[in-house]
Amino acid sequence: MILVISLNPAIDRTVTVENFQVGSLNRVVQVQSAYCGKAINVARALHTLGDTVHVLGFAGGEDGRKMASQLEGLGIANQFVYTQAPMRVNIKIADGVQHTLTELNEAGAPISEEHLLAFLKLYHDNITHCQAVVMSGSIPPGVPLDFYATLIEIAKGNNILTVLDSSGQALLQGVQANPHIIKPNLDELNSLSQHPCESLSQQLLACEALVQKGVDQVLLTRGGQGAVCVGLEECLTAQPVDIAHATVKSTVGAGDCFLAGYLHGIISQGLSNTQALTIAASCGTAMVQTEGTTIPTAEKLLHWVTQVKIIGGKYGQSNSTYQ
């Protein structure tokens, strides 16, 4: 079982427009709403791939209870600490012509100490029953910025695989606890590194520095440039899948599906990093071809596996090519 931590879920409202213009009137083509947040996206993608998932977190207002019921209906077990404040709303403005995404994310309602302690009890009750714990997304107000670090230390004390995908101070302080796997994007890698990360070589050096400090694996998603996986023994680069640019509909949730694909490979299937990265790249590619936050079917998530090319290997074998 994979435990997924959702501290700050949201209602994602994706508004599709054509040729979005700042400061001008824009006509809405389509609106889609769904209960999301990075952790919820990861959980749904893992479940779609056939993994057993259990979600823990906070859920606000009537929408929080509806979200929990919806997850149950999908077959995803969950336990939430319910709060009175309404769930936050994130606005995603997707431009299908310019292929851009503008995001307006609310911070979320403050979490009380009482609710925080209730969550910690849930966490302690569940942590020994899982193979891995995934901490994904932002931290709401009222939750200590080093809270992910605390959760990582508890999990590592129970010999549980730890995975972190966050941003800002939650990421910076969480990394101090040396989680086994982190999944930054380029902006997040820049915040973690004290050096510029514009070229691939600079990005690899920054990932290697994080590994030297104690992280086992760094999964770096590079948008349309592919992804890399850097560990103590090997460095792998997933080249971007060659799809028609016109089929890219939205990047919302692509990194979450990428992470789910990788974890599905190494945890549930027992695959190598090369094979898991191949699945991850296929899942991310499938998600960018999907409007809104709907997770593609397992067939679609795995559709691009045969077209993903992985370059690299064990250190000293960097010219090896896998396909």
**pLDDT digit string, tens, across residues 141-161:** 999 999 999 999 999 999 999
Confidence of residue 100 (pLDDT cuts 50, 70, 90): confident
pLDDT for the residue 245: 58
- Average pLDDT, stretch 268-277? 96
Q: How many CB atoms lie within 10 A of CB 237?
A: 21
Whether 139 has a pLDDT exceeding 90, the answer reads: yes
Q: How far apart are CA 221 and CA 259, in angstroms?
A: 9
71-82 pLDDT, tens digit per residue, is: 999 999 999 999
Q: How far apart are CA 257 and CA 81, in angstroms?
A: 25
Closest CA to 311 of 242, 228, 241: 228
Sheet with 28-36: list strands edge to edge.
Answer: 28-36, 10-17, 88-95, 100-105
Task: Please tell me which residue, 62 or 292, carries the higher pLDDT value.
Answer: 62
Q: Which residue has the tokens 């380029």?
A: 186
Query: CA 50 from chain center: how many Å?
Result: 17
Q: How far apart are CA 218 and CA 161, in angstroms?
A: 14
DSSP, collapsed to helix, strand or coil, labels residue 235 as: strand
Per DSSP, which regions of the chain are E strands? 2-6, 10-17, 28-36, 53-60, 77-83, 88-95, 100-105, 132-136, 161-165, 181-182, 217-221, 227-231, 234-238, 310-314, 321-322
Whether 321 has a pLDDT exceeding 50, the answer reads: no
Whether 246 has a pLDDT exceeding 70, the answer reads: no
Closest CA to 109 of 130, 136, 88, 82: 88
Q: How far apart are CA 271 and CA 278, in angstroms?
A: 10
Q: How far apart are CA 176 and CA 152, in angstroms?
A: 10
Is the whole model's pTM more than 0.95, yes or no?
no
What tokens does 133 get? Answer: 């714990």
Q: How far apart are CA 81 and CA 56, in angstroms?
A: 8
Whether 207 has a pLDDT exceeding 70, the answer reads: yes
Confidence of residue 98 (pLDDT cuts 50, 70, 90): confident
- Average pLDDT, stretch 175-197? 94
Whether 189 has a pLDDT exceeding 70, the answer reads: yes
- Average pLDDT, stretch 31-50? 95
Average pLDDT, the chain: 92
Q: How far apart are CA 302 and CA 113, in angstroms?
A: 42
